[in-house]
């Protein structure tokens, strides 16, 4: 559950923030036509993200190369949009200029959704449930985390949009102390916020492009030759690319802080008791509007804090590693062809781990656990067909896959399928679990690359 709460927030927060700001800007600049243009970009982005998800699932895709061209297109559109906002993001600009800003915003939104949303849209199809199906507890918990993060993003974007639009809808926000109306702030606030978000994205995309170029020089266009090794340019490129790659959280915080500008301004201005009224009913309405404005701003701030908690504290929880079980001793048969484990050693219903080195110098690992309410034992390799040799740990009274965090049904250990340990044949003789040495040696291919 926590893994998907974190992943969805990580993948969607910046995109959701920027798309919402663009949608509000388009609405303020061109009204219904601007909304439709941005909505078209959102729909296009979702559709191509779905196509990418399906293609990724059924065909071999080169995501690194796809992302590189996504960055090329995105950074070009962002630069053009930033220029268009500076020229046409004003109330008195011509309609065609304002529409240019809206169309560019729609294209940037589609590019961002294509880049990140596909992973979120396809996530439920990748929930690992240890073969227990969509009605299993594991699936439901993962679905709950995925949905909770999506709901958080929807609440955040809804109230962020309201906060930005409020400046064009509430004249009391620009009423001066003497009762006169001041300057309309809606274009300045929406355009300024969109421009700052674009600067954050441009820096991020530039760093991502440099990372791809330095990872694989063949992708570097001749127009941008590789700097001499160890030169100031080379070291600067490396430092910048490394910083962008290792500081995703910084860009999430920057995008969120920029998006907080309209709610903060709205909250502060809503503390002022201004606005014209001629009767008590109008006064009550002004008071109610100010109260709603402050609440909306607080909702955005709370959602931002929750998002940061998701990508910091929740991330730390998902990456916390329980210690692997200690490797225990076993006995070899007199002829060395069998491994013998006394049943008393593994009768406590806990996970017991064993390993041996084969003649080929490969360490083969296996586990044994007594099944609850039964005299049977779950015996299997410390690896599975889904997650490979990642192995298993004990968390409380449960057995958990290290890689995908699926909780095993202890009664299914020793059975094939899903994320269950690969079954290992055994028999019980003279009070010991007996495993054939040949079966362990035959499994060494699963552990060669661990």
Cβ atoms < 10 Å from Cβ of 50 = 16
Nearest to 5 by CA among 403, 401, 253, 308: 308
Angle, to 10 degrees, between the axis of helix 186-215 and the axis of helix 2-58? 60
Q: Where are the alpha helices (DSSP H) in 89-136?
A: 95-112, 118-122
Give the pTM.
0.75
d(CA 49, CA 43) in angstroms, rounded, equals: 10
Tokens of 111: 């590019």
| 8 Å CB contact between 442 and 381 | no
Pick the CATH number of 331-447 from 3.30.460.20, 2.102.10.10, 3.40.50.970, 3.30.1540.10: 2.102.10.10
Rama region for 414: left / alpha / beta (φ>0; ψ in -120 to 50; rest): left
> Could you give the strand order of the β-sheet that contains 377-381, starting from the edge strand earlier in sequence?
352-357, 363-370, 377-381
Q: Which helix (H) or strand (E) holds 245?
A: helix 232-246
Q: What angle do CA 361, 366, 367 make, to 5 degrees?
A: 155
Give the 3-state secondary structure of residue 399: strand
Q: Token match 């699932």: residue?
A: 57
**pLDDT computed for residue 283 by the predictor:** 81
**pLDDT computed for residue 250 by the predictor:** 92
Local structure of residue 345 (DSSP, 8 states): G
**pLDDT computed for residue 179 by the predictor:** 66
Going by C-beta distance under 8 Å and a sequence separation of 6 or more, which residues neighbour residue 427? Answer: 433, 434
| 8 Å CB contact between 398 and 381 | no
How many Cα neighbours within 13 Å face the side chain of 363? 10
**pLDDT computed for residue 389 by the predictor:** 78
Nearest to 351 by CA among 387, 385, 327, 384: 327
**pLDDT computed for residue 273 by the predictor:** 76
**pLDDT computed for residue 94 by the predictor:** 94
The answer to whether the Cα torsion of 104, 110, 111, 117 is positive or negative is positive
Q: How far from chain centre, in Å, is Cα 397?
A: 30
**pLDDT computed for residue 276 by the predictor:** 67
> Could you give the strand order of the β-sheet that contains 398-401, starting from the edge strand earlier in sequence?
392-395, 398-401, 407-408
Nearest to 193 by CA among 82, 55, 72: 82
**pLDDT computed for residue 155 by the predictor:** 96
> Could you give the strand order of the β-sheet that contains 338-342, starting from the edge strand earlier in sequence?
331-332, 338-342, 432-436, 427-429
d(CA 191, CA 47) in angstroms, rounded, equals: 27
Positions of the chain with pLDDT lower than 50, given as ranges? 130
Domain parsing of the chain, residue ranges: 2-319, 331-447
């Amino acid at each position: 559950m926590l893994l998907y709460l974190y992943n969805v927030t990580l993948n969607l927060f910046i995109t959701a923030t920027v798309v919402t700001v663009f949608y509000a800007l388009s609405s303020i600049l061109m009204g219904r036509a601007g909304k439709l243009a941005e909505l078209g970009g959102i729909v296009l982005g979702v559709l191509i993200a779905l196509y990418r998800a399906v293609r990724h699932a059924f065909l071999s895709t080169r995501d690194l190369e796809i992302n590189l061209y996504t960055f090329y297109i995105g950074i070009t559109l962002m630069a053009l949009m930033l220029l268009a906002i500076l020229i046409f993001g004003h109330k008195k600009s011509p309609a065609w200029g304002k529409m240019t800003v809206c169309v560019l915003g729609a294209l940037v939104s589609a590019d961002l959704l294509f880049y990140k949303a596909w992973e979120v849209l396809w996530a439920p199809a990748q929930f690992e449930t240890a073969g227990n199906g969509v009605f299993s507890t594991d699936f439901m918990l993962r679905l709950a985390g995925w949905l909770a993060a999506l709901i958080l993003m929807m609440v955040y974007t809804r109230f962020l949009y309201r906060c930005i639009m409020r400046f064009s809808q509430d004249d009391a926000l620009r009423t001066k102390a003497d009762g006169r109306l001041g300057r309309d702030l809606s274009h300045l606030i929406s355009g300024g916020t969109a421009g700052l978000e674009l600067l954050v994205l441009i820096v991020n995309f530039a760093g991502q492009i440099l990372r791809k170029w330095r990872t694989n020089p063949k992708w570097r266009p001749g127009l941008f030759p590789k700097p001499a090794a160890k030169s100031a340019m080379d070291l600067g490129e490396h430092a910048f690319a490394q910083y962008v790659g290792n500081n995703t959280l910084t860009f999430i915080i920057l995008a969120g802080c920029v998006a907080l500008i309209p709610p903060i301004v709205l909250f502060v201005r809503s503390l002022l008791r201004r606005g014209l009224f001629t009767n008590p009913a109008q006064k009550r309405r002004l008071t109610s509007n100010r109260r709603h404005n402050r609440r909306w701003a607080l909702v955005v701030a709370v959602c931002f804090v929750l998002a940061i908690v998701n990508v910091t504290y929740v991330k730390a929880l998902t990456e916390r590693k329980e210690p692997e079980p200690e490797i225990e001793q076993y006995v070899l048969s007199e002829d060395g062809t069998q491994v013998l484990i006394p049943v008393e050693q593994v009768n406590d219903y806990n996970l017991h781990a064993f390993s041996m080195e084969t003649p080929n110098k490969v360490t083969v690992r296996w586990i044994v656990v007594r099944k609850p309410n039964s005299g049977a034992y779950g015996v299997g390799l410390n690896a599975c067909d889904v997650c490979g040799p990642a192995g298993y740990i004990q968390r409380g009274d449960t057995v958990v896959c290290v890689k995908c965090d699926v909780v095993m049904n202890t009664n299914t250990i020793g059975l094939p399928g899903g994320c269950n340990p690969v079954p290992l044949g055994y028999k019980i003789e003279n009070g010991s679990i007996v495993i054939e040495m040949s079966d362990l040696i035959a499994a060494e291919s699963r552990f060669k690359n661990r």
